[in-house]
Homo-oligomer: A and B are copies of this chain.
Amino acid sequence: MALGFQSAKLPDDEPGPLEKFVALLLGPRLANREQKGRKIGALEGVPAMGLDGLSSSAYGPEAALTVLMPLGAASLFWIGWIMAPIVALLLILFASYWQTIRAYPGNGGAYIVSRENLGTHASLLAAAALMIDYVLNVAVGISAGVGALVSAVPKLHAHILALCLGILLVVTVANLRGTLDAGRLFALPTYLFVASFAVILGIGVFETVVSGGHPRPVVPPPQLPRAVEAASVWLLLRAFASGCTAMTGVEAVSNGMTAFRDPPVKYGHRTLTVIVVILGALLIGIACLARSYRIGAMDQSQPGYRSVLSQLASAVVGNGVFYYVAIASLLCVLCLSANTSFVDFPRLCRTVAADAFLPKAFAIAGRRLVYSVGILYLALASGLLLFAYGGITDRLIPLFAIGAFLTFTLSQTGMVLHWRRVRRSPAGATERAVRAHEWINTVGALTTAAALVVIVIAKFKEGAWITVVAIPAVVILLKTIHGYYDRLASQVRDTRPLQLRDSRPPIVLVVMGNWNKITDKALDMALSLSPDVIGVHLDQLAGPEEEEHDAELRAQWVRYVEEPVRAAGLEPPRLVILRAQHRAIHEPVLKLVRELGTKRGGRRIAVLIPEMVRQHWYEHLLHTYHARQLHSRLLACGDSGLMIVDVPWRAEEGEAPPHRHLG
């Protein structure tokens, strides 16, 4: 009997004000079967997963040019030689992730690829690197965007932290609504950014070609600084390492495959292609135009600083309306680059949690079928980082690319082993195609590994060492969590059939106040569970000054309980009055439970607790928490043979004739 209810909403489940607010903010609760309609295509995929990658174009070339600044005008020569290998690397990554997506259409993330091909250790390394990277990406992305915004509108300078946290809130809420909603919401700025810079780069390239390589800028960029150094291998390597940040975000599609609608491989490929093509075009265009328009990086710490893209836009189209639209969309894309993390981090955590390396809550789909715990955790962690650094997270940037390139390397290496296995399996594809695949991933693995080494060395002192320490620490944490679940699983494992140990009904202790309808109902319920019922009343629960009515209670007991039960031909329940010396209801009850257990030869005992149901918020203030305290203390301290029976009681029950039954 597998019941699939049409609507699981219960008629008397009238939503409270909090639930109404949440529904307004996040949208209605979605059913599992609505999952299909919540999947995304390439149109939403690019804004959802691509913002990290696309926004890289804004800071990758700039970062490389900044390192090259001491070279003066020569930097314009070298930027070409830096960006060429970066774009080549991008293409290699594109080819290899294209293959990864096809090989692992369910989830092609570095974690899964490493787990399947390299084993648990490597997969945990990938998971830890990705997790740290995602948290950093949120903090750094938002603060970089806000930094750019503030340098455009200096009035906002006093509100950096508030702006950061505000954007974090918007991105968090959008993603709690679901990846589809976030993708749709952020589509406008994304495509506006792409369109504006397509126009700018197009005009710029046209002008360059027409003018024979020396276009006249509309607004001339500032003079390049004088050279103070000659080019050295070390400087160029550092520029390369800095420029490599342009590539972070390319792995996003493979990590978020579960977000795509059927067939996921098709939409994954489409999204990946759009992202890489746009990113590649932007990188090449920026490098070329920087050269022809003679635009270099400026010192951020000096007043009058302008970013490379801003100089480039005003050089090509001047400082008109179009310039402002382009820069505004760029700011949006920078601020929202955090969204990629919000799409991938919860999905990664879900997979890791399903393997019992993270708490189970990460694997539970929330009201909008996204993994809300992961989203909230990411928001909290990056919010704390932003708060701790006051919204200025420059110092975190060096920590940043390591995780990405470590994951690239692991995932590529995993793919190499994957193809090798495919090649060896008898049902493999044609040998040649597989060899080609293997070759692409090998090149990918080697180049990203080389880039990783360069980045670690170049940035070690600036803070990369923190990542080098943090990743193993996270791995240890994940393993500890797994150890806990492992131990638990072995504790609950049961290979024997059901043991019927004691078929006698339990002794039922009914915790009660005076004689009233609640006690009446509780005793009636208790007698249907077992013929062996004891009423337990506690004296002085409120303190030594509470009045006691023991004699009255005993008289009530005889008249209202013993007589009718005896008349029904049953053994009448006993009444026990205990004194709560420490005003803790559970202590005397537990003591009684233990005494009875010893006396009655290990009989099971059930403690029946009548509980008043609170239907209005103010009732929580008007009642004591004795029932709930007793319940939770019995749970915590009770012996293994103890049951706790809650009998809810509602105010209406006192008004209607008692016990309308179900139905």
Contacts and interface: CB of A to CB of B under 8 A. Distances in A.
Nearest to A542: B364
25 contacts: A5-B591, A8-B587, A29-B582, A30-B582, A31-B581, A32-B579, A32-B580, A35-B545, A361-B621, A364-B583, A491-B654, A493-B517, A497-B563, A500-B564, A500-B568, A528-B604, A594-B663, A598-B662, A602-B662, A602-B663, A613-B635, A640-B653, A640-B660, A641-B659, A642-B662
Contacts of A604: 525, 528, 661-662
Given A371-B543, A644-B647, 4 more contacts: A8-B582, A365-B583, A611-B635, A640-B650
Interface string A505-548: 11000000001111111011101111000000001111111100
A661 B582 contact: no
B661 A622 contact: no
Nearest to A480: B618
A639 interface: yes
A643 B605 CA distance: 16
Interface in A573-626: 576-584, 587-588, 590-594, 596-598, 602-606, 611, 613, 621-624
A563 B498 CA distance: 9
A549 interface: no
A622 B504 CA distance: 36
Contacts of A359: 621-623
Q: List the number of copies, as a whole number.
A: 2
A33 B371 CA distance: 53
A320 to B, nearest CB: 50
Nearest to A557: B498
A640 B652 CA distance: 10
A481 interface: yes
Interface residues of A, number: 136
Contacts of A624: 360-361, 364
B641 A646 contact: no
Contacts of A651: 487-488, 491
A552 interface: no
Interface of A: 1-5, 8-10, 12-13, 29-33, 35, 258, 350, 359-361, 363-366, 369, 371, 481, 484-485, 487-488, 490-494, 496-506, 515-521, 523-525, 527-530, 539-546, 550, 559-561, 563-565, 568, 570, 576-584, 587-588, 590-594, 596-598, 602-606, 611, 613, 621-624, 631, 634-648, 650-651, 653-655, 658-663
Contacts of A3: 576, 578-579, 588, 591-592
Contacts of A594: 662-663
Nearest to A651: B491
